[in-house]
Chain A
Amino acid sequence: MDAFSQLLNGFAVALTPMNLLWCLLGTTLGTAIGVLPGLGPALTIALLLPITFKVEPTAAFILFAGIYYGAMYGGSTTSILLNTPGESATIVTALEGHKMARNGRAGAALATAAIGSFVAGTIGTLGITFLAPVVVDWALRFGPADYFSLMVFAFVTVSAVLGSSAVRGLATLFFGIWLGLIGVDLQTGQARFTFGLPELLDGINVVVVAVGLFAVGETLYVASRYRFGKDEIIPLSGSLWMTLEEWKRSWKPWLRGAAIGFPIGAMPAGGAEIPTFLSYYAEKKFSSKPQEFGKGAIEGVAGPEAANNASAAGVLVPMLTLGLPTSATAAIMLSAFQSYGINPGPLLLQSQPQLVWGLIASLFIGNVMLLVLNLPLIAIWVKLLQIPAPLLYAGILVFATIGTYGITQSPVDLILLYLIGGIGYLMRRYDFPAAPVIIGMILGPLAEQNFRQAMTISAGDWTVFFTRPLSATILALAALALFGPKLYQLAMRPKPDHVPGDA
Chain B
Amino acid sequence: MTSGSQEEEAARARPAIGETIIGAGVLVLAIVMFWQAMLIPVSPLYAKVGPTVVPLMTAAALGLLGVLLLIDAWQGGWQPEEEKTVKPDRAALLWIIAGLVLNVALIGPAGFTIASIILFVCVARGFGSKAIVRDALIGAAFALIAYFGFATTLGINIGSGWLESTIERVIGVEGG
Contact = CB atoms under 8 A, between A and B. Distances in A.
Contacts of B158: 402, 405-406, 409
A228 interface: yes
A391 B135 contact: yes
A405 B48 CA distance: 40
Contacts of A191: 40
Q: Do most interface residues of chain B lie in helix, strand or loop, or is the interface mixed?
A: helix
A411 B99 CA distance: 15
B164 to A, nearest CB: 12
B31 to A, nearest CB: 13
B138 A223 contact: no
A399 B46 contact: no
A391 B99 CA distance: 14
B107 interface: yes
Nearest to B94: A223
Interface stretch (A11-19, A174-182, A244-252, A321-329): A174-182
Place the interface of chain A in its size category. Answer: 35 or more
Interface stretch (A90-98, A128-136, A159-167, A363-371): A159-167
Chain A interface main SS type: helix
A440 B51 CA distance: 18
A104 to B, nearest CB: 29
B27 to A, nearest CB: 10
Given A389-B127, A390-B128, A502-B3, A448 B54 contact: yes
B54 A500 contact: no
Given A181-B54, A220-B93, A398 B61 contact: no
A384 B83 CA distance: 28
Contacts of B172: none
A456 B86 CA distance: 53
A390 B135 contact: yes
Interface in B1-27: 1-5, 8-9, 18-19, 22, 26
Interface in B85-126: 86, 88-89, 92-93, 95-96, 99-101, 103-104, 107-108, 112, 115-116, 119-121, 123-126
Interface string B118-149: 01110111111100000100110011001100
Interface string A230-259: 000000000000000000000000000000
Contact of B154 (A51, A164, A395, A430): A51
Interface in B30-52: 33, 36-37, 40-43, 46, 48-51
Interface in B55-87: 55, 58, 61-62, 65-66, 68-69, 72, 78-81, 83, 86
